[in-house]
Structure 1
């Protein structure tokens, strides 16, 4: 049975509801219960670890038996395991739901499989509706499930000839206002913003996400990597969120600790040395390269040595999107050879 127009509208609404939930060890999920004639009966979303999942939250707003014959529209495949809460697939079956439409499969080895359980119980199941939008919403959680670490975006701004700064070290501003505003918006979509001590000492960045002079509602936690001491009066020490400091070059260890703190999306903009370290370590899921129509020359490249000895060993990227930003151009890309390995799903 094809997805109906009412179900498509319900999925759009479910994605909006999902965004209300917090990012953390659990995914953001939204659910809408539709009557047999396509009318919305109840809505729900997941409010964090240990709270009812979106499907159960929506069902809880209905009288016993009211969901019989109804359709559940959910942004993620209903889970199939018992953790701090029970399996959502079983809750839907017990409630008498006869059709489920969901966007994305659950990648968890334990939590996945809800669709099969529903079908085995005679429930009609349709998957893939607005999958791209659902993936964008929870890409950080999906990466954490597959790789056991946060989703990492590395950003840099460069001249047309690949330089991040002029020969005297000055770099403000290579790009124009539209590109800088885009950076701040993307900062606000992240959980942590990562720089090296070199950037802190050279630029004294505030590491906030701003709209002009105003702080945006969501602020990423500042993360500083390196052995040099951050001055007591550094701007980032006045950040709304307490900074995290890592005196190590072990990026895997840093990401593991951030993952344990519930960080899903990491935004790296700490200069050529740190950006290159993440790339060389194979820890990059997305690249944001802001290219300005200026020429600088010199040796201050946007990336340093990546340990690539010849052209046949080059790190190939796939372009997701080219975004014009005033006179500048943003390239959004991901590594073409990225590999994933499944881990167990969260509760």
Structure 2
């Protein structure tokens, strides 16, 4: 087998890390590649699920004695604490690793310190290799840990003229099956799906991650959260069907904002305490507007169908924008055609003032 550079190995480690997306929370996604002294790959691993072995441990088990004297290439700083698993930094030292290449240092004060521990043990450590790329793959976890609340993605579907339904309220289906399949894949990558009680009363959604071709549920289901200030969610609503955990978040339980509705910032703080690091906001337009007005949306994923209605409810309302100078600016990060529809991904720019 030909030798590879640490940079090439890091590219592979980032690819490996992505395989854990959606199943590791509240832990991060991490990938690891081990190189022997000649630079040949002798072990690979990724963190697959919370409570399971970390990426470094999986790779070390695969490499065995071939790791001695070699290099560990890891997307995130090896942990330095004992939780449900032992400290990876010490495991690398015991395995005889002489060099560790890290993409992103760990912002979590509980687990950080691995780099210092490795250096104290005489291990050469290099940080910042493919840092931006690795951070992008772990953006939800990194952002959440740094500020103590989940990373929020607002997802919506609309016609080309921005309508989420027709004038009579019908909305099935604005977008294609291909787009809906894509949405369910997106649901499978987050820890929770959030909707407002208005959406529950109007559409009675399940808010689960499913295989639309056969209707089967995904093995892992995100927590379903209904933002319901006064507790109007019916006992027979499909979000209460037992297919996934559900929290009907009321103002009495979470705390009320000045307008008497659920305090959204407090809601996110409570979700973080429950282990939620990423959230998918699915509706409706009023709740999305409230999240945007509060500056709580980190990413927008929109599915735009090549259709026109000319009337009907908009995809977004109540953002508090009254004049063009107050517009919420976005920066596109991706544009992809999904079936006949266009999926765009964008991030809000920091607002002035």
Relative to the length of structure 1, the TM-score reads 0.83
Are 1:278 and 2:280 an aligned pair?
no
In 1, Cα distance between equivalents of 2:319 and 2:10: 46
In 2, Cα distance between equivalents of 1:110 and 1:233: 42
Closer/same/farther in 2, CA of residues 319 and 10 from structure 1, 3 Å limit = closer
Question: How many residue pairs are counted as aligned between the two chains?
Answer: 336
1:8 is paired with a residue whose SS is helix
1:330 is paired with a residue whose SS is strand
Closer/same/farther in 2, CA of residues 214 and 66 from structure 1, 3 Å limit = closer
What is the match of residue 209 of structure 1? Answer: 209
Closer/same/farther in 2, CA of residues 273 and 7 from structure 1, 3 Å limit = same
5+ residue gaps, structure 2, are: 252-261
Quick check: 116-125 or 293-302, which moved more? Answer: 116-125
What is the match of residue 275 of structure 2? Answer: 262
1:301 is paired with a residue whose SS is coil
Closer/same/farther in 2, CA of residues 30 and 326 from structure 1, 3 Å limit = closer
Closer/same/farther in 2, CA of residues 325 and 26 from structure 1, 3 Å limit = closer
What is the match of residue 327 of structure 1? Answer: 340
What is the match of residue 236 of structure 1? Answer: 239
1:24-69 per-residue CA deviation (whole Å, 9 max, x = no partner) reads: 2322323333211234444455466676644355446776x86442
1:290 is paired with a residue whose SS is strand
Q: 1 or 2 for the larger relative contact order (CA 8 Å, sep ≥6)?
A: 1
Deviation at 1:90, TM superposition (A): 4.8
In 2, Cα distance between equivalents of 1:20 and 1:299: 40
Quick check: 169-178 or 27-36, which moved more? Answer: 27-36
Are 1:309 and 2:322 an aligned pair?
yes
Relative to the length of structure 2, the TM-score reads 0.82
1:106-133 per-residue CA deviation (whole Å, 9 max, x = no partner) reads: 2235644544554566544344445455
In 2, Cα distance between equivalents of 1:234 and 1:309: 36
CA RMSD of aligned residues (A): 3.1
Deviation at 1:238, TM superposition (A): 2.0
Match of 1:222 among 221, 224, 235: 224
2:283 is paired with a residue whose SS is coil
